Structures are given as structure tokens and as C-alpha cells.
Structure 1
């Protein structure tokens, strides 16, 4: 499938380059950025993540893109769409997600990039809905979800199957947006 990339006024959502690994590794090593994940990632884990993201992009034409500022060329994070890779009641599904370097928080970049990703999901991929999920304590991500029109599906909340039973990050909240909702808010 041909690779889809997109852009906004301030951002490029593009394919990954080998030269992106140091910035990705720094992002994933930041304990504050990773506080809602089981642990920060080391350089090798980030390299493996980069391979997985490239493979998803190559296979599906979309995925988690490198998020680059247009003005400076700086890689500031990860944003995009991916097929959910675990079993849950809402799967099969495509999720939207983001992870930004701390220096770029609270500047509207996550929302801007997520809006661009939703446009790809509904206009180019023809999806009927997109989901997103996080731990209950991740209020900033939930605020982004609501700001892009997603609604909480309390009946869809779940225990993340890739975390061990009893892990404090296992409970997840589920948000959804359907194509009709997205079209109505445009």
C-alpha cells in the first residue's frame, strides 16, 4: 500500500528515518513522558519500536508517524494511527495516539497532529471509527481525546492484556469517534 503522509500548518507527519532514532530514544527515555507506561525505554527498545512503526507503515500505508516541526525541522514526537495489536472487545480497531517531548507540551501540537491523523482515517482510509485508550490517570491525553471530538465509552473500559494482572497501569479507559461525529464537528 502506498505510504500516506500528511502535514498541518506547523507540523509534518512523515515516515521515519534512521536519523530520527536519537530523538525517539530521548523521548522514550524521559521518565515524565513515559509516566503512564510501564517504564521508560532504553535505546535498544526504541530502536525496536522504530522498526515496528516502519513495518506498520510499510504494510498498511499508515501508522505512527514521526512528528516534525515545520519551522525548525525538529522531531518532537510520535503521532498517528495503528491497528490495535491485542485482543479486546473493541478489536479489530484502529487507534489514534501521540507521544510528545516535554518541551512541546501544552502548545496544541498533540491536538493539531491528532486532527490531521483523524482526517487521514476518515477521508483517505475510509474508516468508520477510530479508538483511543489510556490509563485513567492520564488526564492530558484524555483532554486531547475530548478536544478532537472523541467520547468516552465507559462500557468499553478494559484491562490491558499486555500488562500482568494487578499491574497499576492495567486498567484503561476507552474513547471513540465515529465518522459521522467527526463530519458533524467539522
Structure 2
């Protein structure tokens, strides 16, 4: 079982007990405004998300981690890697993304978890490049991407929902631990 420990977090595969807490996180419209179509997700949709993430782990050797606080065991959200289907600017590339419950914002957890995930991608999984996409104007996500050393590479438009996106990337040669 793949696990990563950081000073404050455990990144791990998904457990049955994670469904309800993740569903509560994904039911928050503020958390979800930058994910997909920006709409909250139901319990059933969250179960489908976890199932898809676990399938990606089995097929690709990477996926979305459950983010657990080491001190309390509380589920803070998800961070991880996936093969992008859209937009065309990153289709087929491995992308990094995250979503944390609002109560966990502003404490450095997203940066800590994303940094460990990027290191896992480039060093453990041997990827040469990782991309990221966030909504244009999402300063919090852009800040995390900057802390990871990812460079803005251009813009895109969401092919289904039409909103503007910022595209980022980092190559192994640019990565510094």
C-alpha cells in the first residue's frame, strides 16, 4: 500500500470510512467551485470519484491520495495525480490536483501535500513532467503551484463548461526538492 508521511499529514489510499467525510467536503460549493463544473458532488458521485481514483491507482501506479491529519486522524481532503482528459493543452499528461475541506485552508496543508505528491511523481514514479490546471484567477491554487516551482505555461478554456483556465507545468530538470 502506497503511503507518504509528511510532518503533519499521511497521504494514503482510500478506505471505506473516507466516503462520508469526503462527501461532506465535496458537498461544499466553495470547495468545489474550482473543480470540474464547479458544482458540489453528492454522496453517490463521491463514491464514484473514489472508485475511479482507486482504478487509476491500479492501472497507472498513481492516483488521488486521501489526505489525513497525523495528529487527529481526520480526513482533510484529497491530493494526487491523474492522467488528464481535458483540456487539450494537457490531455494525456499527468496532472496534480487537490481539494481540501474549507476548515483546513490557510494552514499550509495543500502545499505540504502537493509537494509530497510532486516528489512522489518525479522521484518515486519516474515521471519526467507534471502539469496542473486551475481556474484563471484562483490565486490560492496559483500560489500553491508557485510554491511547487511550477511555471505558468499559458491559458486554456474548459471544453465543456467554457471557463478560463491557467495551465502550469514542471519538468524533472526544473524540480528542486
The CA distance in 2 between the partners of 1:110 and 1:140, in whole Å, is 10
- Contact 1:160/1:171 (CA < 8 Å) preserved in 2? yes
What residue in structure 2 maps to residue 140 of structure 1? Answer: 140
Aligned pairs, number:
175
How far does residue 87 in structure 1 lie from its aligned partner after superposition? 5.7
> 1:66 matched to which residue of 2?
66
Q: What's the CA shift string for 1:64-94, capped at 9, x where partnerless?
A: 1100011110000000111112361333210
In the alignment, structure 1 segments of 5+ residues that lack a partner are: none
Counterpart for residue 128 of structure 1: 128
Corresponding position of 1:49: 49
SS, match of residue 16 in structure 1: coil
Structure 2: runs of 5 or more not aligned? none
Quote the Cα distance in structure 1 between the aligned partners of 2:89 and 2:114.
24
CA RMSD of aligned residues (A): 1.4
Q: State the alpha-carbon separation in 1 of the partners of residues 89 and 42 from structure 2.
A: 32
Answer yes or no: is the 8 Å Cα contact 2:150–2:168 preserved in 1. yes
1:116 partner SS: helix
CA contact (8 A) 1:81 1:94 kept: yes
Looking at structure 1, the residues matched to 171 and 26 of structure 2 have their Cα atoms a distance apart, in angstroms, of: 30
Q: Which secondary structure does the structure 2 equivalent of 1:20 belong to?
A: helix
Deviations 1:143-169 (A, max 9, x none): 100011001002xx21222x24xx4xx
Maintained 8 Å contact 1:28/1:46: yes
Q: TM-score, normalised by structure 2?
A: 0.93
SS of equivalent to 1:65: strand
Deviation, structure 1 residue 180: 1.1
2:87 and 2:158 in contact (8 A); partners too: no
Name the SS for the 2:30 alignment partner.
coil
Return the alpha-carbon distance in structure 1 between the equivalents of residues 69 and 168 of structure 2: 27
Q: Deviations over 1:19-54 (max 9, x none)?
A: 100011000001111122421111111111111111
Q: For residues 159 and 90 of structure 1, what CA distance do their matches in structure 2 show?
A: 11
8 A contact 1:4–1:61 mirrored in 2 = no
Tell me the equivalent position of 1:152: 152
